[in-house]
Chain A
Amino acid sequence: MSGAAEGQKGAKQGVARGITRATLLKDLRLEWRSKDAINSMLFFSLLVVVVFSFSFDPSAEESRQIAGGLIWVAFLFAAVVALNQTWARELRNQVLDAYRVSPAPPNSLFMAKVLGNFIFVAVLEALMTPLFIIFYRLRAIGPAWQLLLVAAFGTWALVVNGTFFAAMSIRTRSREIMLPLLLFPISIPAILAMVQATAGILTGEYSARFWIVLLATYDLVFTTGCLLLFETVLNAE
């Protein structure tokens, strides 16, 4: 009896994973063919790099101090572009309504969207970081491999909350303005941790370990919170 129940549970998990994979692949394919989000994000963050670079024209030492803030602010604003169109795409032809009435678990849809956005923003970061290094003459004095951890945890923090609040803001009037209004206040601790960790690694003045642990905890808490609340938000009527 328990074996059968376990088998059923396993099958359910398999279905959930299948839905996640299918939605993720669909989003990636759409993006691969249209390249809407990634192009606008890239151009936007390129503009931020150029504008900040010539308006401040910092020395190598100064840019180590401020680069953490600049990089993450650029990525944050660029990520909003991708996040805003995550759910807007599903509103056309009532895809989201169809999803709501289907028995598919809402959290697998959420995870697919989060993973998709994570990949978009990670690609953006991988392409933009060399530009930042060139324009700001950056060289890490601290342990540079920790920057990978900061980038991974930081991007996850932005994307998981961003996807959740994007699902909230498509329910409001003036959708596109609503997302940053909701996302930024909640993200302040994560942004602070990312900026401080990056500055700590680049300048080598202090250890970034505390900030990385804080980011990981933030990710854990907010991923759990979003997963628990997503069904409520998706079905809010």
Chain B
Amino acid sequence: MRRLFPILVIFTGVLLSYAMSIALLPVVHIGGITLIGAPTEQTMGSVQRIFYYHVPSAWTAFILFFINLGASVYYLIKRCATADIVALVTAEVGVVFCTVVLVTGPIWARPVWGIWWTWDMRLTSTLVLWLIYVSYLFLRKFSSSGQTPLLAAALAVLGALCVPFVYFSIWFFRTQHPQPVMGGGGSIDPRMLHVLLVNWLAFSCFAFLVCWSRFRLEKVQREVDEAHAMRSLLDDPSAAARSMR
């Protein structure tokens, strides 16, 4: 497994730089050779290119949160420490990707919609999801280590229950007060779709890579903590008993 890590690093690096170049460069013809890039969007122009970071980040974040829910449920059933580390890692990386979504969204919306933010269905549900997972990380940070996994897993399950409610309430909220926000529908240029999917693949690989290294780090951290606890127990049993309390 460990030998795979450098290979994955190189693969992700190459894929990310390829994805970035095709997302940022327009279609160029040099001496009869067509370098494949994404065509510039007709009405929005180059601003639209942020789409290749925004959408893949959102997909990646949602997948990570979904894995977090799965790992939390598994932890509640089996009490397996690995599942807890998976839940922690996916929540952390998911929050980072979700932040990317929430930052790139307004940057795109300002020139295109003319406003930074609107209480639209998708925007609001993403923001609430972000809030829930930030509170999840707060809980993990502030609870004492022995209880953290259980409390966090319970919060993750309740947070997931909340998501459909956010979605439905905002949906109704906005159909009551309609606002011209986004011209829905419309098909996407296949070249754009290609760039989008390549970017998504690159982002997913990157997220997986970060999760993997964070997972290893957390595992080592826990082993070190355990070793410290063991040593203090051997050195001075009464002090250890007090600190355990």
Interface residues of A (CB under 8 A from B): 161, 164, 168, 171-174, 178, 181-182, 184-186, 188-190, 192-193, 196, 206, 210-211, 214, 217-218, 221-222, 225-226, 229, 232-233, 236-237
The residues of B with any CB-CB pair to A shorter than 8 Å are 76, 128, 131-132, 134-135, 138-139, 142-144, 146-147, 150-151, 154-155, 157-159, 161-162, 165-166, 168-170, 172-173, 176
Main secondary structure of the interface of B (DSSP, over half): helix
> Smallest distance from the beta carbon of B149 to chain A beta carbons, Å?
8
- Nearest opposing residue in chain A for B143, CB measure: A172
How far apart are A56's CB and chain B's nearest CB, in angstroms? 21
The distance from the CB of A232 to the nearest CB of chain B, in whole angstroms, is 6
Instruction: Please report whether the interface of chain A is mostly helix, strand, loop or mixed according to DSSP.
Output: helix
Question: Cβ of A188 and Cβ of B128 under 8 Å apart?
Answer: yes
Which of A188, A210, A218 contacts B131 (CB under 8 A)? A188
CB proximity of B186 to chain A, nearest CB, Å: 30
B151-A171 in contact (CB<8A): yes
Tell me, rounded to whole Å, the shortest Cβ–Cβ distance linking B22 to chain A. 37
CB-based contact A178/B128 at 8 Å = no
- A28–B162 alpha-carbon span in the complex (Å): 31
In the complex, are the beta carbons of A185 and B142 less than 8 A apart? no
**Chain A residues, CB < 8 A from B157:** 225, 229
Cα(A195)–Cα(B47), bound, Å: 37
With contacts A182-B135, A182-B155, A192-B169 known, is A222 near B161, CB below 8 A? yes
Could you count the A-B residue pairs with CB atoms below 8 Å apart for me: how many are there?
A: 94
For B168, the closest partner residue in chain A by CB is A214
Q: With A and B bound together, what is the CA distance between A181 and B161 in angstroms?
A: 17
Alpha-carbon distance between A237 and B144 when the two chains are bound, in angstroms: 9
Contact A174 B169 (CB under 8 A): no
CA distance in complex: A217, B131 (Å) = 22
The answer for the CA separation of A67 and B94 in the assembled complex, in Å, is 37
Of all chain B residues, the one with the shortest Cβ separation from A187 is B162
B147 pairs with A232, CB closer than 8 A: no
Contact across chains for A178 and B132 when beta carbons are under 8 A apart: no
- Give the residue among B144, B157, B161, B165 with the most A Cβ atoms within 10 A: B165
CB-based contact B151/A185 at 8 Å: no
For the complex, give the distance between the alpha carbons of A161 and B139 in Å. Answer: 15
Tell me which of B128, B134, B139 contacts A168 (CB under 8 A). Answer: B139
Residues of B within 8 A of A196 (CB): 169, 173
Nearest CB on A from B148, distance (A):
9
Q: Which of A186, A233, A236 contacts B132 (CB 8 A)?
A: A186
Which of B76, B150, B157 counts the most chain A CB atoms within 10 A?
Answer: B150
- Give Cα A171 to B168, complex, Å: 33
Taking CB atoms, residues of chain A closer than 8 Å to B134 are: 185
A225 vs B153: C-alpha distance when bound (angstroms): 13
B159 with A186: CB separation less than 8 A: yes
